[in-house]
Amino acid sequence: AQSVTQLGSHVSVSEGALVLLRCNYSSSVPPYLFWYVQYPNQGLQLLLKYTTGATLVKGINGFEAEFKKSETSFHLTKPSAHMSDAAEYFCAVSDTGGFKTIFGAGTRLFVKA
Partner 1 sequence: GAVVSQHPSRVICKSGTSVKIECRSLDFQATTMFWYRQFPKQSLMLMATSNEGSKATYEQGVEKDKFLINHASLTLSTLTVTSAHPEDSSFYICSVSREDQETQYFGPGTRLLVL
Asked if residue 63 binds partner 1 (CB under 8 A), the reply is no
Nearest to 85 by CA among 18, 23, 4: 18
Nearest approach in angstroms of CB 28 to partner 1 is: 18
By CB under 8 A, tell whether 99 contacts partner 1: yes
104 binds partner 1 (CB under 8 A): yes
DSSP letter at 30 equals P
Report d(CA 6, CA 61) in Å as an integer: 21
Q: What angle do CA 20, 55, 7 make, to 5 degrees?
A: 30
Residue closer to partner 1 by CB (options 73, 94) is 94
| CB nearer to partner 1: pick between 77 and 108 | 108
For partner 1, the closer of residues 17 and 106 by Cβ is 106
Distance CA 4, CA 73 (A): 10
> Is residue 60 a contact residue for partner 1 (CB under 8 A)?
no
Answer for the pair 75, 22: CB distance below 8 angstroms, yes or no. yes
Binding site for partner 1 (CB under 8 A): 32, 34, 36, 41-46, 49, 51, 90, 96-106
